[in-house]
Structure 1
Amino acid sequence: MSGTEHLSVRREGATLILTLDRPEAKNALSLPMLVGLYDGWVAADADDAVRSVVLTGAGGAFCAGMDLKALAGKSMDGEQYRDRLKADPDLHWKAMLRHHRPRKPVIAAVEGACVAGGTEMLQGTDIRVAGESATFGLFEVRRGLFPIGGSTVRLPRQIPRTHALEMLLTGRAYSAAEAAAIGLVGRVVPDGTALGAALAVAERINACGPLAVEAVKASVYEALEMSEADGLAAELTRGWPVFDTADAEEGARAFAEKRVPVFRRA
């Protein structure tokens, strides 16, 4: 896929890198960006050669949320994409990972501003790496708005409720160190190195059995909606078939032969 004017795409090995590319607006969400994101998630899921996805932003920022100037004017850049939105009114929610969960692991590489819609989209990613000067926050209430990208549901499930409510109700900014302390991000790295760190995580994932990786991710999210007993039962349903794959045999054989396994998604 080629992306759009506000979303660039490139491959690095088995990793698809989606870059929010509107640096003059701190990568505020636009229609071309949303269409590009949605197409990126679909492309990653459809291509078995892609084993992970890294989501990042250009120009030293991740995403400053919705373009409020455009929102006030009831228009957005990229009018040529209006037909896509009309054909699928849910496209923007899928793009922001509210109504879509890619089967491949998604790693966020955050530099600079990751606020409002940026923090909401972040909650749809699986692993999160942030530069030490990155900032986070849900500013919607300060502007009389509601964080409708899923934060009132997801955030209290991802971080302790007291921290989630403080973030949601105060609309204040959080440093990368604070975000790591409350569990919103997993790791803080020197500025300018978040993408490299995220790609290193992706490379480790890519070296693992793809069927196993995807089954593990699916099991984790499935179990979040269940009781522990139901989750454990569902884990067996997803997990046992992995042991019957050629990839599982290859993993054991490679270990015995002291070599790198060659997984074939079979």
Structure 2
Amino acid sequence: MGGTEHLAVRREGATLVLTLNRPEARNALSLPMLVGLYDGWLAADEDDGIRSIVLTGAGGAFCAGMDLKALAGKGMAGEQYRDRLKADPDLHWKAMLRHHRPRKPVIAAVEGHCVAGGTEILQGTDIRVAGESATFGLYEVRRGLFPIGGSTVRLARQVPRTHALEMLLTGRPYTAREAERIGLVGSVVPEGTALDRALEIAELVNANGPLAVEAVKASVYESADLTETEGLRRELERGWPIFDTADAKEGSRAFAEKRAPVYRRA
């Protein structure tokens, strides 16, 4: 279903798995990959049967950042996608989760290199699992560049500012354990098992009421820039309607009857 030559798409039950699929270049971002990513985010949001998304990389790497030559569409790898980028000049930012937030939870499964643009995409995901040998970092300043994928805004909101600034200003690599320690990833698992763990987490998400899950995610993000008072007000606006849904009644009924709930997004 869907995908491009650099972005593989498959279903695992109620989970849509998007795989960055350019292993010969450590899954460096290309125009076909970005088009596939954006289409994948949209497909997940439009399909009520999909309750979660897992983002991972092929060949033992997550993403080594942007391939500027490929993004320019030079050569066969990107030629047929130039019209997409021309029609929507913001497409690459949406693909990288800078200007688009899927309403379904996005779980990152990271192995190997997750640097530069890879670390920037990571900041747009919701739950993050890393293999023991994963490497993170924002290398842009080492090349005299700027991490314009959102890191100077997002990173200090996701990890303590001192750690954000050290990562941004030194451009040094970070091990998976360091990334876990500062809070960039939630857990570290044995090498080669990040995808398995991400799919396990996705199954836990999928078992819950989808309307509740999506409302909780939306509430967390929309309240991030509000005062506590305003955030609590908005939480009630998001939360109270959930109690009136058929799914909420089904959840309570299933609990009383000691059975698994059957949610219908109603």
Q: TM-score range by the shorter chain?
A: over 0.9
Comparing 76-85 with 235-244, greater Cα deviation is found at 76-85
2:65 maps to which residue? 65
1:221 aligns with 221
Q: Counterpart of 1:35 in 2: which secondary structure?
A: helix
Which residue in the other structure is 2:241 paired with?
Answer: 241
Give 2:186's aligned residue. 186
In structure 2, the residue matched to 1:165 is 165
Q: Find the counterpart in structure 1 of residue 264 from structure 2.
A: 264
2:151 corresponding residue in structure 1: 151
Task: Give the partner amino acid of 1:75.
Answer: K
Structure 2 distance, partners of 1:19, 1:195, is 10
* Alpha-carbon offset, residue 74 of structure 1: 7.9
- CA contact 2:73–2:81 (8 Å) conserved in 1: no
**Deviation at 1:229?**
0.4
Paired with 1:74 and 1:165, the residues of 2 have a C-alpha distance of 33
**In the alignment, which residue of structure 1 is the partner of 2:74?**
75
1-structure distance, mates of 2:117, 2:79: 21
1:127-179 C-alpha deviation (Å, 9 max, x unpaired): 00000000000000000110000000000000000000000000000000000
Letter of the 1:14 counterpart = A
Task: Structure 1: give runs of 5+ residues left out of the alignment.
Answer: none
- AA at the equivalent of 2:201: V
Query: Once the two structures are superposed, what CA deviation does each residue of 1:89-135 show, in whole Å capped at 9, x if it has no partner?
Result: 00000000000000000000000000000000000000000000000
Do the aligned partners of 2:44 and 2:50 also contact (CA within 8 Å) in 1? yes
Distance 1:141 1:244, change over 3 A: same
| Cα offset, 1:68, TM superposition | 4.7
Q: Given the two structures, how large is their TM-score scaled by the length of structure 1?
A: 0.98
**SS of residue paired to 1:197:** helix
Amino acid in structure 2 at the alignment position of 1:89? P
Aligned counterparts of 2:73 and 2:189: Cα–Cα separation in 1: 38
Per-residue deviation, 1:69: 5.4
Cα distance in 2 for partners of 1:68, 1:88 equals 18
Distance 1:244 1:68 in 2: 49
* Structure 1 residue 93 corresponds to structure 2 residue 86: no
How many Å apart are 1:225 and its aligned residue? 1.4
Q: Which whole-Å CA distance do the structure 2 matches of 1:61 and 1:68 have between them?
A: 19
CA RMSD of aligned residues (A): 1.1
2: CA distance between counterparts of 1:191 and 1:115?
Answer: 17
Match of 1:125 in 2: 125
1:75 Cα deviation (Å)?
Answer: 3.4
Q: Secondary structure at the match of 1:258?
A: coil
User: Which amino acid in the other structure matches residue 161 of structure 2?
Assistant: R
Displaced runs of 4 or more, over 3 A: 68-71, 73-76
Cα displacement (A) at 1:70 = 4.6
Cα deviation, 1:55-83, whole Å, max 9, x if unaligned, reads 00000000000015557x88373111000
Q: CA deviation at 1:210?
A: 0.1
Q: Distance in 2 between matches of 1:204 and 1:2?
A: 25
Q: Give the % identical residues.
A: 82
Partners in 2 of 1:69 and 1:169 — Cα distance? 26
Moved more, 186-195 or 75-84: 75-84
**Aligned-partner residue type, residue 249 of structure 2:** E
Counterpart residue number, 1:207: 207
Matched with 1:56 is 56
Task: Give the distance between the partners of 1:203 and 1:240, measured in 2 at CA.
Answer: 26
Aligned to 2:109: 109
Task: Give the Cα–Cα distance (whole angstroms) in 2 for the partners of residues 24 and 74 of structure 1.
Answer: 18
Distance 1:225 1:69 in 2: 36
C-alpha spacing 1:161/1:207, structure 2 compared with 1 (3 Å): same
CA distance, structure 2, for counterparts of residue 183 and residue 135 of structure 1: 14
Partners of 2:79 and 2:138 in 1: CA distance: 28
Q: By how many angstroms is 1:39 displaced?
A: 0.1
3-state SS, counterpart of residue 224 of structure 1: coil
